[in-house]
Chain A
Amino acid sequence: MISGAPVTLSLEASVLETLRGFYALWPYLILVAGILLVLVVDWFQSSAKSQRVSWIALLACLGSAVSLTKLWPTVLDRPVLLGWNALVFDPFSVFFSLFFLVATFIVITTSRTSKELAGRRMGEYYALLLTATLSAAFLAASQNLVLLYLSFETLSLSSYVLAGYAKDRREGVESSLKYVLFGAVASGIMLYGLSLLYGMVGSLELRDVAKMASQPSLSFLLVMVLLMAGFAFKMSAVPFHFWAPDVYQGAPTPVTAYLSVVSKAAGFAVFLRFAAPMLGVPLFSQAVEEMPKELLFAFLSLLWILATLTMTFGNLVALRQTDIKRLLAYSSIAHAGYMLAAIVAHNQAAYEAVVFYFVAYAIANLGLFFAAQVIHADKGTFDIAGFRGLVHDSPVLAASIAVLLWSLIGLPPSAGFMGKFFLFVALVKQGIASSIASFYYVLVLIALANSVISLYYYIGIIRQMAFYEPSTMLPVCRPTFTARFGLATAAALIVAIQLYWQPLTDLSRAATGSKTPVRAVASYGLVNSTPPRNLAVGDQQ
């Protein structure tokens, strides 16, 4: 009854829709209120007590996260569209918003104890952090190119300032400089791609863009290449990764953790949403248009090459690093490569796997950057030498770091292993179903080979911690109870996910829409006017 002709809403129904929209906006409004409050309160505080405003930022994150969990069942039933379909709150965007908020919460708690940030005015810092989170959330929810570009830029602009927040340090200025130059060029290229896309499609809505993809054209591929510049910059994928090592090294450690988790996840989220209809993955509302075979293959080949280069480059260069932040930067480039590899599989399982992988990756990375910060606070160095003999200083700290590294390698028992497992399963599944199986199998083999390479440098740190005597030149590391507790929790989570992964797979399945009941999605067509084509069968009730 719904499929086919557009349905106009009755007045009552449209009022209800609007109210639902405002309900969905609550979490974001709380965040905005937090941003403003942080700035205003900081105004009235002395510099010495500036760190206090972090409580407001923490509360804003918490409030926003709680209202997001309230929103979750509603959007699971039926996504909410806002602002003339510019914003869509479906489980995908709500999940990513929640993910960003939890990560931001952790980053704020680590910022509070950071020595690199001590003695600075923190009002702007927390305001920018929350702004970046807000725009990351909107980036995951944007269905319109204007909003996509605006939130992309807001995220970038706040990250530029955050990266150079320690502006009296040489590395701070340098990292900000690199970030601004690379970011501005990447977003400029992306913007040009968007303008060409608009010229071809004649609409700024992602839905219409997806329709355009069903007509074979070389210029569409060119546009995708231009847009990939922007996405790859956010994901820190080759060839737009050059900024990552320097920025990760120069930025204050909490900011580095933020960039490696939230900013990267935002890049992946927007790319997943943007590419879903073209790759043939029904991500909720989006109508799946068959991309012509040759065009799809060309696009997949592009991703294939990017993924291979990204993980191989990241892992090979990481081998030679002696600075822990730089090493983690290259490792995070490599991880972007693994996730890009999963997207090549372009099926539902791949999308789930990326979401799952990101959670595992985020726990490990947030934990490791925090560990680097803790060690730096006592030993005053980010060199790997600081890890030497750590097990004598603090066994809990060393053991937790070892578990987190283990997870990044992807060895059992750890969340990282499950993440990699799901990635490979998605690829193999696609390989079995496809006529060009080796296209996918070779990618799996390359990813496996890369995991073996990464083993070397991750295990190197573990070896330094466990089997070496601590350097006598450096002071002993005495982490506080909170630091040890936080890291032990992260490590426990990593192991717990391996033992009991069902909740997380369910969550990632819900977030990418595999389990959304057909009825609920079909009624979505009411607002959307063009119901998803693949779900038309379910409309008969």
Chain B
Amino acid sequence: MVPAEHALIVATILFCLGAIGVLVRRNFLFVLMAIEIMLNAAGLAFVAASGIHGQPDGQIFFLFILPVAAAEVAIGLALGVLLRLRYGTLDLWQIAQTRED
């Protein structure tokens, strides 16, 4: 049995990974994935905390995070399609450069 504190540590690491991913990734899709990792890290922390407190609240919160994350991805992907149509690429740096021209 893994103690709940370990899950919290994993959540922190995941969150940092996600945050780093957002900062360094150039491709829009990978940035979206990194954001998902951040959200899920928070979700994991919720579930772990709910284990520590012996309450279902945190797990319920996680159930609410799921649809929100899905909705965010839906909007993100729709935007990705638009970006691809307009710029022919999903590379955020290239998009930023075409903008300055």
Q: How far is the CA of A167 from the CA of B60 in the complex (A)?
A: 36
Contact segment of A57-65, A178-186, A280-288 = A178-186
Tell me, yes or no, whether A188 is within 8 Å of chain B by CB: yes
CB contact between A146 and one of B52, B60, B99 (< 8 Å): that residue: B60
Q: Is B1 an interface residue (CB 8 A)?
A: no
The count of A-to-B residue pairs whose CB atoms sit within 8 angstroms is 98
**Bound-state Cα–Cα, A146 to B31, Å:** 25
Contact of A160 among B22, B32, B46, B75 (CB under 8 A): B75
Closest to B68 in A: A153
Q: Which of B22, B53, B79 contacts A173 (CB 8 A)?
A: B79
Determine the interface band of chain A, counting residues with CB < 8 A from chain B.
20 to 34
Q: Mark A189-206, 1 if CB is under 8 A from B, else 0.
A: 101101110110011100
Partner of A157, one of B11, B32, B75, B86: B75
B65 → A minimal CB distance (Å): 7
A439 at the B interface (CB under 8 A): no
Measured between beta carbons, the chain B residues less than 8 angstroms from A385 are: none
B52 A199 Cβ-Cβ under 8 A: yes
Contacts of B79 in A (CB 8 A): 160, 164, 173, 176-177, 180
Please indicate the chain B residues that have their CB under 8 angstroms from the CB of A202 in the complex: 49, 52-53, 55
List of B residues within 8 angstroms of A167 by Cβ: 82
Q: Please give, as numbers and ranges, the residues of chain B lying within 8 Å of A176 by CB-CB distance.
A: 79, 82
- Which chain B residue shows the least CB distance to A202? B53
Contact indicator A145/B61 (Cβ below 8 Å): yes
Is A199 a contact of B68 with CB atoms below 8 Å?
no
Contact (A188, B18) CB under 8 Å given A146-B64, A161-B75, A202-B53: yes
Contact partners of A203 in chain B: CB under 8 A: 55, 57
Q: Is A150 an interface residue (CB 8 A)?
A: yes
C-alpha spacing A187/B68, complex, angstroms: 11
Q: Nearest Cβ in chain B — how far from A477, in angstroms?
A: 30
0/1 string, B5-33, CB within 8 A of A gives 1: 00010010001001100100000100110
Give the B interface residue count (CB, 8 A).
Answer: 40
Interface mask (B38-76 → A, CB under 8 Å = 1, otherwise 0)? 110111011011101101011011001100100110011
Distance (Å) between the CB of B5 and the closest chain A CB? 10
A196 and B57 contact, CB distance less than 8 A: no
A149 and B86 contacting across the interface, CB-CB below 8 Å? no
Selected from A170, A181, A189, A199, the residue in CB contact (under 8 A) with B86 is: A170
> What chain A residues lie within 8 Å of B71 (beta carbons)?
153, 157
User: Provided the pairs A160-B75, A188-B42, A192-B42 are in contact, do residues A199 and B8 lie with their beta carbons within 8 angstroms?
Assistant: yes
Set B39, B61, B86: member contacting A204, Cβ < 8 A: B61
Say which residue of B31, B38, B61, B82 sits within 8 Å of A198 (CB atoms).
Answer: B61
CA of A173 to CA of B84 in the docked complex: distance in angstroms?
A: 11
Q: Do the beta carbons of A146 and B82 come within 8 Å of each other?
A: no
CB-contacts of A135-189 with B (<8 A):
145-146, 149-150, 153, 157, 160-161, 164, 167, 170, 173-174, 176-177, 180-181, 184-185, 188-189
Contact call B39/A146, Cβ cutoff below 8 A: no
Smallest Cβ distance from B48 to chain A, in angstroms?
Answer: 7
Given A157-B71, A181-B31, A202-B55; A195-B38 close (CB under 8 Å): no
Alpha-carbon distance A153/B35, docked complex (angstroms): 14
Residue of B with least CB distance to A203:
B57
CB-contact partner of A194 in B38, B42, B60, B95, under 8 A:
B42
Contact partners of A157 in chain B: CB under 8 A: 68, 71-72, 75
A188 vs B65: C-alpha distance when bound (angstroms): 10
Cα distance A194–B22 in the bound complex, in angstroms = 20
Q: A195 and B35: CB pair below 8 A?
A: no
List residues of chain B with CB within 8 A of the CB of A184.
32, 35, 72, 76
For B39, give the chain A residue with the smallest CB separation: A188
Q: How far is the CB of A83 from chain B (nearest CB, A)?
A: 13
Complex alpha-carbon distance, A491 and B55, angstroms: 54
Q: A185 touches which one: B22, B55, B58, B83 (CB < 8 A)? A: B22
Q: Which residues of B contact A161 (CB under 8 A)?
A: 75
A185 surroundings in chain B (CB, below 8 A):
19, 22, 35, 38
Chain B residues lying within 8 Å of A170, measured Cβ to Cβ, are 86
Decide: B11 and A195 in contact? CB cutoff 8 A.
yes
> Is the pair A204, B57 in contact by a Cβ cutoff of 8 Å?
yes
Closest to B86 in A: A173
Chain A positions within 8 Å of B28 at CB level: 177
B64 contacts A150, C-beta separation under 8 Å: yes
Given the complex of chains A and B, what is the CA–CA distance between A181 and B26 in angstroms? Answer: 12
B64 and A199 form a contact (CB under 8 A)? no
* A192 CB contacts on chain B under 8 angstroms: 15, 38, 41-42, 45
Whole-angstrom distance from the CB of A166 to the nearest CB of chain B? 11
- Bound-complex Cα distance A45 to B47 (A): 46
Are A198 and B46 closer than 8 Å at their CB atoms?
Answer: yes
A422 nearest CB across to chain B (Å): 37
Which A residues are CB-close (under 8 A) to B95?
174, 177
For the complex, what is the distance from the CA of A164 to the CA of B86, rounded to whole Å? 13
Encode B74-99 as 1/0 by CB contact (under 8 A) with A. 01100100110010000000010001
- A198/B58 contact (C-beta < 8 A), A157-B71, A188-B18 known: yes
The 6 residue pairs across chains A and B that have the minimum distance between CB atoms = A199-B49, A195-B45, A188-B38, A202-B53, A191-B42, A192-B42
- What are 17 sample pairs from A and B whose C-beta atoms fall under 8 A apart? A146-B60, A149-B65, A149-B68, A157-B75, A170-B86, A173-B79, A177-B83, A184-B32, A184-B76, A188-B18, A188-B35, A188-B42, A191-B42, A195-B11, A198-B58, A202-B53, A203-B55
Known: A180-B76, A198-B46, A204-B57; 7 extra A-B contacts, CB below 8 A, are A149-B68, A150-B64, A150-B68, A181-B22, A184-B35, A199-B49, A199-B52
List residues of chain B with CB under 8 Å of any chain A CB. Answer: 8, 11, 15, 18-19, 22, 28, 31-32, 35, 38-39, 41-43, 45-46, 48-50, 52-53, 55, 57-58, 60-61, 64-65, 68, 71-72, 75-76, 79, 82-83, 86, 95, 99
